[in-house]
Chains A and B, each alone.
Chain A
Amino acid sequence: MGFIRFSGVDFHYGPAGSSAVSILKGLELELAQGEFYVLLGPSGCGKTTALNLLAGFERPSAGTIVMEGHAIGEPGMDRVVIFQGDDSLYPWLTAQENVEFPLRMTGVGAAERRRRAATWLSRVGLANHGQKFPHQLSGGMKQRIQIARALVCDAPVLLMDEPFGALDAQTRTILQDELVSICNGSGATVLFITHDIAEAIILADRIGVMRAGPGSAVKDEFALDLPRPRNRGSVEFAAAYDRIQRVLGEEVRKVVTREAAA
């Protein structure tokens, strides 16, 4: 049995039993401990929704989500989230203070807090920017703050929602490589969301491709046992890309056709 397990999960907004359209229907998902799992899917299919359920921001309308044998409850430090975009950073706190924030909430002493935050800031390459406020930093640097803020928690599970989605291609590539080296051997279980196939192949142990919504679920899964760091120019990379593209492309085409008809 998996470390994390979604069984028959349905989700729709509004009270249980209401007639609203299901965003997720019969979602089955299993993550092994220490696994890096990437969820791919056309935009609007319900990837963020699935992550919100695991984080505990929303409750399933039906079905269960279990982690280490216990049903998922309130959000907590055992499942830390890296959010899409930079709205979750606190603009009134410096980069350093943003990274200290989780430690502050858990009552870690000031000196210890400062030390641990500084360590993570320099690991994500922000050693010289700790005293700056988020608005003084570039998009890539803001995402690094979010990554440092999540990793400082030492959480067993990391939930990342398109963390590099808004970045330019070069910055994204660099951050992907950094994430691989940080996560390698950290032992954390990761649920990573993206709509970028190349990103998924660079990072994942396993990839789940979701169906176009509404009533979405995982359509197909791909295991990748290529050695890391992975080479974007390799034959294996291209082969994996091609296989996944066939499945995902079909779902994206459904969305495009539907939008054109609407």
Chain B
Amino acid sequence: MSSASRHLAWLALRVLPFIGLIMLWDAAARAYDVPVLFPTPFATWDKAVQLIGEGQLQSDIAISLWRIGVGFAVGCVLGTVLGLMMGLSRPVADFLGPFVHTLRFIGPIAWISAVMIWFGLGETSKIVLIVYTTTFVVLVSAMIGVMTVHPNKLRAARVFGARGWRLFLHVTLPATLPHILAGARLAMMNSFMTIIAAEMVAAREGLGFLIFNSRQWMEVDAIFVGMITLGVLGLLADVLMVLLTSLLFRRFRPAAA
């Protein structure tokens, strides 16, 4: 088989399932026969075009991505620092452990109400929720990363005279980085879910608001646009994370999650 036709076959294999899915969706919508409650793919497409024409979709995307970006960045730093400290120091692990292991079971969505009481209805509360979800996932990965550095890696460096800060910088940190990156990737996915929840409960813009506000007016076509946008954005963010990781951190291939 020529390489061109092999590429074509590969593409077909990726695209065909989605075409099948859209056809299935179309058939189901026609069978349901209430276009307002279950719009066809074409109606959804028209709605998307309209929303883009009005500029609303772009601005919703931008605001949601901005919130995720800020929260994710802060959460990664916070989670990495705390996770490393807990992994490196037994007393720190003992002091923070009980809280980490309890909060681990309380997802960001459980805090939605509390965060809005404490931080108001503005940007802060949404970003705080993203910080929270990111911090925990990254913290736990970093901590496990530190604790699973093979002792011989540390012993070898000690033979070569590395102690304290140098040992950390040259061995512990690079050995833990793959775990941190794997955690960050997972956290990115959680961020998308969290931001939608936050924007649904209290926001005047963003993808979550688009999805929620349309519900009040029973604009299911707009909801579908929001959902598909979310799926595409999430997928793109994930691909981008993987790509950036392999570009910037080529040496530190992420550990299997």
Contact = CB atoms under 8 A, between A and B. Distances in A.
Interface in B159-200: 159-162, 166, 170-171, 174-175, 177
B252 A88 contact: no
A86 to B, nearest CB: 9
A80 B150 contact: no
Contacts of A93: 251
Interface in B135-153: 150, 152-153
A87 B152 contact: yes
B155 interface: yes
Interface stretch (A27-35, A71-79, A177-185, A223-231): A71-79
A80 B159 contact: yes
B161 A77 contact: yes
B232 interface: no
A192 interface: no
A77 B175 CA distance: 22
A202 B156 CA distance: 27
A74 B160 contact: no
Interface stretch (A98-106, A114-122, A123-131, A204-212): A98-106
A75 B159 contact: yes
Interface in A80-108: 80-81, 83, 85, 87-88, 90-93, 101-102, 104-106
A197 interface: no
A88 B155 contact: yes
Nearest to A79: B159
B158 interface: yes
A55 B159 contact: yes
A83 B156 CA distance: 8
A52 to B, nearest CB: 8
A81 B160 CA distance: 9
A83 B160 contact: no
Nearest to B252: A92
B171 A75 contact: no
Q: Is the interface of B mostly helix, strand, loop or mixed?
A: helix
B157 interface: yes
B174 A90 contact: yes
A133 B251 contact: yes
A158 to B, nearest CB: 11
A105 B150 contact: no
A105 B152 contact: no
Nearest to B166: A105
A57 B136 CA distance: 34
Interface in A196-220: none
Contact of A83 (B155, B161, B252): B155
B257 to A, nearest CB: 18
Contacts of B251: 91-93, 133
B70 to A, nearest CB: 29
Contacts of B252: 92
B158 A87 contact: no
A77 B159 contact: yes
Contacts of A40: none
Contacts of B170: 101, 104-105
A88 B160 contact: no
- Which of A76, A77, A88, A105 has the most CB atoms of chain B within a 10 A radius of its CB? A105
B160 A92 contact: no
28 contacts: A55-B155, A57-B155, A57-B158, A76-B159, A76-B161, A77-B159, A80-B159, A80-B160, A81-B156, A83-B152, A83-B155, A83-B156, A85-B152, A87-B150, A88-B150, A88-B152, A88-B156, A90-B174, A90-B175, A91-B251, A92-B177, A93-B251, A101-B170, A102-B161, A105-B160, A105-B166, A133-B251, A149-B156
